[in-house]
Structure 1
Amino acid sequence: MAQAKKIVMGILIVFVMYTIITSPVRAAQLVQVGFEGISTAAKGVGKFMTSLVS
């Protein structure tokens, strides 16, 4: 099982590197979308926590 995990992680890393090298603009867009999603989720949690306190 550990060997399969290493292989999958290796393939994932190669895919990410290939995407960055072949299309850096698209890779930057994907990173931006990811950070926007994290930011939106954090704001939602903050609003939820604030509503619990109020």
Structure 2
Amino acid sequence: MVQAKKIILYMVVVFVLYTIITSPARSADLVQVGFEGISNAAKSVGQFMTELVS
């Protein structure tokens, strides 16, 4: 079971590296979208906490 997880992890890493190398612009767009999502989630949590305290 551990061996299978390790193989899958290696496959995912190779796929991510291949994607970055073959289309760096698209990869940059995806990273930007991910960070925007994290930022929006953090802002929402902050707003929720502010509303709780107020």
What is the match of residue 18 of structure 2? Answer: 18
Q: Deviations over 1:18-44 (max 9, x none)?
A: 000000000000000000000000000
Gaps of 5+ in 2: none
Q: CA RMSD in A?
A: 0.6
Task: Show the 5 A alignment for 1:1-54.
Answer: 1-54=1-54
2:19 is paired with a residue whose SS is helix
Could you list the runs of 5+ residues in structure 1 that have no partner in the other structure? none
- Structure 2 length as normaliser, TM-score? 0.95
Deviant stretches of 4+, over 6 Å: none
What is the aligned length?
A: 54
Residue 2 of structure 1 deviates from its aligned partner by 1.2
Partners of 1:4 and 1:14 lie apart in 2 by 15
